[in-house]
Structure 1
Amino acid sequence: MVMESTGLREKKKNARYRSIVNKAEQLFLDKGLDHVQMQDIADADGIGIATLFRYFPKKDKLIVAVAVANLEKNIETYKELAGSNQTAYERLEQVLDFLTKDDQLQSAVKFREAFESYASFAKSPLDDIQDYIDTQKEIARIFMSIIDDGRTDGSIRTNIPVKETLITIINAYGTFGNNIALKSPISYLEDDIAPANQRRILKEMLLTYIRP
C-alpha cells in the first residue's frame, strides 16, 4: 500500500476546502443564507456530512469562510493598482472604477450584502468573524499606501484630513455602487438615471473635492 505524503494530503485538503467554500457560496446566493442546510452543501460538493463537519463544525464558520474568500478575491488586484507608477490621484480613480466594474457587481456584491446583514442581526458575534475583520483591515492597509503617496506627490489636496477623506470616498463610492447595482433590476428605468451615469457623476464629485 502506497502512503500519501503530508504535502499531497495538505493539497487535497486545501482543494476540498476551496471546493466546499465555492459550492456553499453558490447555494447561499441561490437560496439565501438562512435557507441552506449543511446537508445541501455536502450534497452539492459530493461529500458526506461527516466530512463537511470536519472542515466546518458549524454553519456560521462556513458562512464566514465564504465571506473571507469573497473579500480575498480582489486583494491582488488592489495591490497592483496601489503599486502602479501613476500619481496617487490616478490610482484612486482606478480603484473607484474597479470597485464598480460590472463584473464586480454581481455575485460578490450580492453575497457581501447578504452576509453583513446576516452578521448584524446575529444574537452574538459569528464564529471566526475576526477573520473577516482582519481581511478588511488588510485591504485598508493597501489603500493606505495610496494615501501616503498622495501626501508627497502633490496630486491630492493637503489641507484636508487625507486619510479620513480617502477612506470615506472609497467606502461611500463602493457602498453607493453596490446599492444601485443591486436595485437596478427594479429601479432606474430611465436611461438618464441609469446606475452607470449615477456612478460617473458621483465619482466626478468625489474626485473634484480632493484635487489640489
Structure 2
Amino acid sequence: MPLSVRELNKSTRYQHIVSAAQRLFLKLGLDSVQMQDVANEAEVGIATVFRYFPKKDKLIVAVAIQNLERILPAFEQIAALPKSAYERLEDVLNYLLEDQNSPESNSSKFQEAFESYASFTKEPLPDMDDYIEIQKQISNSLIPIIEDGKKDGSIRTDLSIKEALITIINTFGTFVNNVVLKSSISFKEEDIEPHIQQRVLKEILLSYVRPR
C-alpha cells in the first residue's frame, strides 16, 4: 500500500534530520553535537527532533544504520550478477575499495567514530538490534556467492567457503577504512602509498581462495 502524504512527509523529515546529524557528527564529533545543533542544521524545531529521536544516542544509531543500508543494495546487485563466485567476490572487494576511496564518501570516517563511541558507552545504545539486523542482511546478501562458490569450481573446494568469504570481506573492508582514515597521519613520502597496500592485500586475499 502506498505511503500516505503524512507518512511520506514523516519519512522525508526523518531522513532529513538523520542526514543533518551525520554532517554535524562528521564535522564536530559525536560528543560535541547537541540536539539543538541538529535542529538548526535541519532547519526544524527542537521538538520535532525529539519527537523522532528522544535521545541523542538514538540519533547516532540511526545515522549508523543509514550508512549500512546504503551498502546493502550494492551487495545484493553484485551477488545477483551472472558471474562466477570468484568474480563476484572480486567485485565486492572492488566496490569496498572504490566506495571508501571516493571523495564523496564519509561512511568510513563515521563508522570509525561510531564503533569507538559504542565501545565506550556505559549503557547499551538504543536500536542496536536494528543495526545488527542490517549487518545480518548484508551478510545474507552474499549467500548466492557462497552457494555458487561451492559448485562452480571458481573457489577452492577444500575451504569452508562461507567462513573464508565473510572473513575476506570483513578484513578487506576494515583495512581499507583504516588506511583511508589514517593516510594523512600514518604515511610518509618513503612509505608505500595506501592504494598500493590496498591492491596488494586484495591480491593476497583473492589468491587464497583461487583453486590450486
Please indicate the TM-score interval, normalised by the length of the shorter structure. Answer: over 0.9
> How far is the alpha carbon of 1:124 from its aligned partner?
1.7
2:26 to 26, 29, 32: 29
Runs of 4+ aligned structure 1 residues displaced above 6 Å come to none
Q: Secondary structure, in 3 states, of the residue corresponding to 2:184? A: coil
2:72 to 70, 75, 78: 75
| Residue 183 of structure 1: aligned partner | 182
Separation in 1, partners of 2:128, 2:193 = 35
Equivalent residue letter for 1:40: D
| Residue 125 of structure 1: aligned partner | 124
The answer as to 2:34 corresponding to 1:42 is no
> How far is the alpha carbon of 1:187 from its aligned partner?
2.4
Unaligned runs of 5+ in 2: none
Matches within 5 A, 1:122-201: 122-190=121-189, 193-201=192-200
The alignment-based identity, stated in percent, is: 56
> How far is the alpha carbon of 1:190 from its aligned partner?
3.1
1:17 to 9, 14, 17: 14
Separation in 1, partners of 2:73, 2:136 = 15
Separation in 2, partners of 1:208, 1:149 = 18
TM-score normalised per structure 1 = 0.94
Unaligned runs of 5+ in 1: 1-5
Equivalent residue letter for 1:199: Q
Greater alpha carbon shift after TM alignment, 8-17 vs 181-190: 181-190
| Residue 3 of structure 1: aligned partner | none
Separation in 2, partners of 1:89, 1:104 = 28
Separation in 1, partners of 2:192, 2:105 = 20
TM-score normalised per structure 2 = 0.94
* Change beyond 3 A, Cα 1:58–1:71: same
Separation in 2, partners of 1:104, 1:86 = 29
Contact 1:180 1:195 in 2 (8 A): yes
Contact 1:89 1:150 in 2 (8 A): yes
Contact 1:75 1:139 in 2 (8 A): yes
> How far is the alpha carbon of 1:192 from its aligned partner?
6.2
| Residue 204 of structure 2: aligned partner | 205
Separation in 1, partners of 2:24, 2:64 = 13
Q: Secondary structure, in 3 states, of the residue corresponding to 1:66? A: helix
